Structure 1
Amino acid sequence: MTFLATMIQYALEEEIPSELRFLQGYDRACREIDAEFDLPQKDISRLVRMIQGNDGQLSRNKRSQFIILPDDVIERIEVIVQGAFR
């Protein structure tokens, strides 16, 4: 098998399915957060990416970027993101 064929096979079997799972989880999380909270879409998007990229938790450092959100709201958003990416 050539290098190109190997890369194509890897993309088809690994990268594309992984990216599709991420996009499905991302879309689900954004929809659920938007339905529950009145937040700008750009903030929802940032929260989802930050939480998902940190194993389902918003780091203390990143929390400072969302000081207007109470802890219980952040915790609920974390639960939504965790569920969306299961």
Structure 2
Amino acid sequence: QCLTNLLITGFATPHCFDGEKDISGLKLYGIRHQASIGFLSSLEIYRLLEVGWYLKNPKSPIWILGSETHLTVIFSRERALVELDNETPLKQALK
């Protein structure tokens, strides 16, 4: 995970959550800012990994999808998927 985060954000960290966490005096560092490309993980449904907002919502509609055994790149030409305005396609579909 450190290498993947280094390639995505330029900062090698084994954690995918946003910011920092303090666990019993041990400071853990996660992702510092919104990345150009994102990261999603199938391990998150098992609560083995927490992927934060910065990686789930990249600046470009490109994501690396991590599973137990491999990495896959998914992308879209639809820039509206990553726009930060209030009327995203998902919000419009939910109305």
TM-score category by the smaller chain? under 0.3
Bigger Rg, structure 1 or 2: 1
Pick 1 or 2: higher relative contact order, CA cutoff 8 A, min separation 6. 1
Q: Name whichever structure is richer in strand by fraction.
A: 2
Q: TM-score, normalised by structure 1?
A: 0.24
Q: Name whichever structure is richer in helix by fraction.
A: 1
Q: TM-score, normalised by structure 2?
A: 0.23
